[in-house]
Amino acid sequence: MSDATPSSDTLNDFASEPVAARRVVVLISGSGSNLQALIDEQTHDRLGGEIVAVISNEPDAYGLTRAREAGIDAVALPHREYDSREAYDGALIKVIERHEPDLIVLAGFMRILTPRFVQRFLGRMLNIHPSLLPAYQGLNTHARALADGVAMHGCSVHFVTEELDGGPVVIQAAVDVAEGETEASLKEKVHAREHLIYPIAVKWFLEGRLRFSAEGATLDSTPLPPRGVRLSHADAAEELDEN
């Protein structure tokens, strides 16, 4: 009987396999500025996972160029080639599932999703919306906020459900509406905040901290309030190094 200790090679044989990076598919329709914010975080190993594909319903979307330049699979799936919303979403499901994602991220994907699509990916699909939800669901949020004379506006990341812009909110960032604010200036400020909070929400999900349930969103097993985690104007301005 030998009392020799096992060699390091033998020990290495029993080493656990490295955990594969969690996989993200991003859906876009346009320039993909929020996609770029996610790519930038991934480049610096701060995203918590890997963007494995970017899919656009608009074949000329600049976001596809951003994906290609980052070495990410870029897929054009034009919706106009399909006879119905249901047919398109069926094809989109097949393309997405080929990439086996843990998370689907909507980054300016300008289509209303069918119930079939939402239910297929329920609990693992995030969207960003340019308002402090539940205020200003739908389109033209900046113009509507200015018309109402609100003092505070912002953006929200939320889980996608069948209710348009109505899923559980994860995180928001507020912006004070300045005197003389224009739609263009307000949009620019909100965009900066979108690029700040979307990578945070994605990382929380990929790290297993953020979860979806019938009762709403939880972070570190604690239920989030209806507005999620909210960054004040001052908090966001400090993070963005705004003057």
- Give catalytic residue positions: 129
Start-to-end CA span in the chain (Å): 74
Cα R_g (the chain), whole angstroms? 20
The first and second tokens of residue 10, run together, are 């033998």
Q: How far apart are CA 49 and CA 202, in angstroms?
A: 9
User: Could you give the C-alpha distances from 133 to 76, 111, 228, in angstroms and in order?
Assistant: 30, 19, 10
Query: Are the C-beta atoms of residues 38 and 206 closer than 8 Å to each other?
Result: no
User: Could you give the C-alpha distances from 239 to 35, 193, 216, 234, in angstroms and in order?
Assistant: 19, 9, 27, 9
List for the chain the helix, strand, coil content (%; round to 5). 35, 25, 40
Neighbours of 12 (CB within 10 A): 9
Provide the b/e sequence for 55-81 (b: ≥16 CB within 10 Å). Answer: bbbbeebbbbebbeebebebbebebee
* Cis peptide bond N-terminal to 6, omega within 30: no
Query: Are the C-beta atoms of residues 38 and 51 closer than 8 Å to each other?
Result: yes
